[in-house]
Amino acid sequence: MLFPARLRLAAAAAPVLLLLGACSGPTTTGPGDALAVALQFPPRSAYAFDADDGALLMTLGVAETLTAVDADARPAPSLATAWEQTEDPRTWRFTLREGVTFHDGTPLTADAVVTAITYITGVTAPPRAIAGIGLTATAEEAAPEKAPAEEAAPEKAPADRASAGEAVLLTTAQPDPVLPLRMSSGNLGILAPAAYAGGRQPSVIRTATGPYVLTSVNGADSAVLERNPAYWGTKAGAATVTVRYVTDPQSRALALQSGDVQFAEGLPHASAAAVRSAGGEVVSYPAARTVELLLNQSAKPFGDLRVRRAVTAAIDRNVLAAQVLEGAAVPASDLFGPAVPWGAAAAPPAADAAAAKRLLAEAGHGPDNRLRVRLQTFPNRPEMPVLATAIQSMLADAGITVEVTVGDYAAQEPKLLAGDFDMFLNSRGYLSDFADAASVLSSDYTCTGSYNIDHFCSARFDGLVAGLAATGDVEQRQKGFAKAAAMLTEEAVGVMIVHPNNTVGLRGVTGFTPDPLGVRPVLPPLKPAQLAPAG
């Protein structure tokens, strides 16, 4: 099943809560009331929220945040049911959902939320969604009880604000118009107070609020989830889920074909036919992701704009998408792709080897001084090594000799961030942390960005991104995102190669809902096929 390219939020016209399962399943374990799934990326640091593992916990359906995201990429209720900006524009009031309990049986309270938020804002490297905004949290003091005479004629509460329930006040150093959307970041999950005891990394075993309880972990190899019978919303689709982290794409496909797992993500395009022959289903849909060839501008040769433009001219992105990846991606003409409304619609230009050679000659490189560079990438996403080899060939035609190395990403990252590399082929979700592009623009491309692998620095670009902080209007923000992407293209800040599709496989499971923005729980809607209601 292939979804239209500009799907945006896929079938997400349904409310957020419905995506946690269209119907409730049995709450008792039966012979077939269990699932096994193969996920491609293991936890980076024992499920630490400040190491991006919070997003994984959200995918699993374990941890939840104050807000979620609706079909229009706007904040929607989750652990908070309402929010409003107070008279002080720096402060937002979030009303908490009543009747929510953590997996350890303790209630969700304002004090518990303050403990969680205070912890994550105090780590050495806070999540990108809140980095640098000066976020603080306090529990709102309960209003004094009214006298009986006053209770007879209470003031009418605003329609979008709960009349009861505890509230948390979140304050930033400067007014932040998108704070409610920031709070949907998976790295801002709320855990029980006991999780933070002892001053160590919070324990995620039986301490969250989601439809699944994380009951055990086996390092970065596997984990076991159990349905939360006390969940406040729609119950999870399976009584138990065994999560296996399988980094090799072929192994994920084989596990699905053999029946060892019922759901696998990141399937190689070439395995689709075999999966279908085994009785499985393959779902492909747009992803808010870009494969980008990062060029180290902090050193030679890519500190020279002419060399960066030469590399761009030498690569035929249309061929890479249509032929090398056999249509499993669309060619990228800028950072943003078809999963979002502000993504560029026009195809990139074809390769121009003659122009590439001319630019290289201007920069002092030719037959007698051939440019030689290193290209690194990683194997977790099946398209990466294939693309690296094809790019190597295209650059060779333009007079650039490329040495390709495929290795573990975690081992490569420290040197990448330190500027010890030439070219790095990366796959990056451009709505990193929450459904807004300002975060990735800031972290990846500003002068002080925490993930600025390109080592690009432009005062003009930084000024554009800084201006988004005061822009609350969604349409104006999207225009700003598009303008920022155009500036990156103008400066040849890396080469945006393709926007890959997400591809998942299902065999003996129903309930999967594509989410191009990648901001919703994946596992809770999945239901063993034999438990699906008739009709």
Complete DSSP assignment for 368-401: TS-EEEEEEE-SSSTHHHHHHHHHHHHHHHTTEE
Q: In terms of Cα–Cα distance, which of 196, 168, 20, 16 is closest to 92?
A: 168
pLDDT at 472: 79
Output the six-digit token pair for 23: 């119907």
pLDDT at 31: 44
Contact (Cβ atoms closer than 8 angstroms) between residue 250 and residue 271: yes
Q: Give the span between the Cα atoms of 177 and 362, in whole angstroms.
A: 46
Single-letter code of the amino acid located at 108: L
Q: Give the span between the Cα atoms of 124 and 185, in whole angstroms.
A: 18
pLDDT at 128: 83
Strand 167-171 with 136-139, pairing: antiparallel
Helix (H) or strand (E) holding 274: helix 272-277
Q: What percent of the residues of the chain are helix, what percent strand, and what percent coil, each to the nearest 5? A: 30, 20, 50
Contact (Cβ atoms closer than 8 angstroms) between residue 428 and residue 289: yes
Q: In terms of Cα–Cα distance, which of 257, 301, 233 is closest to 525?
A: 233
pLDDT at 1: 39
Q: Give the span between the Cα atoms of 374 and 298, in whole angstroms.
A: 15
Residue carrying structure tokens 């293991």? 42
DSSP assigned state of 147: P
Q: In terms of Cα–Cα distance, which of 301, 307, 300, 254 is closest to 278?
A: 254
From the centroid of its chain, how far is CA 266?
Answer: 14
Output the six-digit token pair for 334: 């800028």
DSSP assigned state of 2: B
Q: Give the span between the Cα atoms of 15 and 71, in whole angstroms.
A: 7
Strand 281-286 with 495-506, pairing: antiparallel
Strand ranges for 320-387 from DSSP E: 329-331, 371-377
Single-letter code of the amino acid located at 16: V
Is 110 strand, coil or helix? helix
Residue carrying structure tokens 């201006």? 467
Own/partner contacts of 218-226, CB < 8 Å, gap of 24 or more, are 219/46, 220/42, 220/43, 220/245, 221/42, 221/245, 223/60, 225/60, 225/61, 225/62, 225/523
> End-to-end distance of the chain based on CA atoms, in angstroms?
20
Output the six-digit token pair for 49: 């929220």
pLDDT at 52: 82
pLDDT at 142: 64
Per-residue HEC secondary structure of 154-196 comes to: CCCCCCCCCCCCCEEEEECCCCCCCHHHHCCCHHHCCCCHHHH
Q: Give the span between the Cα atoms of 208 and 104, in whole angstroms.
A: 8
- DSSP H helices, 20-162, are 53-60, 110-121, 148-151
**CA-based max dimension of the chain:** 94
Q: Give the span between the Cα atoms of 408 and 451, in whole angstroms.
A: 18
- Contacts with 412 (C-beta within 8 Å, 6 or more apart), sequence order: 376, 378, 421, 424
* Buried b or exposed e, range 4-30, using 16+ CB within 10 angstroms: ebebbbbebeeebebbbbbeebeeeee
pLDDT at 258: 95
Single-letter code of the amino acid located at 197: A
From the centroid of its chain, how far is CA 204?
Answer: 20
Contact (Cβ atoms closer than 8 angstroms) between residue 71 and residue 11: no
Calculate the alpha carbon distances from 348 to 45, 187, 338 in Å: 38, 34, 14
- Encode the chain (535 residues) as per-residue pLDDT tens digits: 333 333 333 333 333 332 333 333 333 334 469 999 999 999 999 999 888 899 999 999 999 999 998 877 788 999 999 999 999 999 999 999 999 999 999 999 999 999 999 999 999 989 988 988 999 999 997 655 544 444 433 333 333 343 357 999 999 999 999 999 999 999 999 999 999 998 789 999 999 999 999 999 999 999 999 999 999 999 999 999 999 999 998 999 999 999 999 999 988 888 999 999 999 999 998 889 999 999 999 999 999 999 999 999 999 999 999 999 988 899 999 999 988 888 988 999 999 999 999 999 999 999 999 999 999 999 988 889 999 999 999 999 999 999 999 999 999 999 999 999 999 999 998 987 888 898 899 989 999 998 999 999 999 999 999 999 888 787 789 899 999 999 999 999 999 999 988 899 999 999 999 988 888 899 999 999 864 443 3
168 bridge partner residues? 94, 139
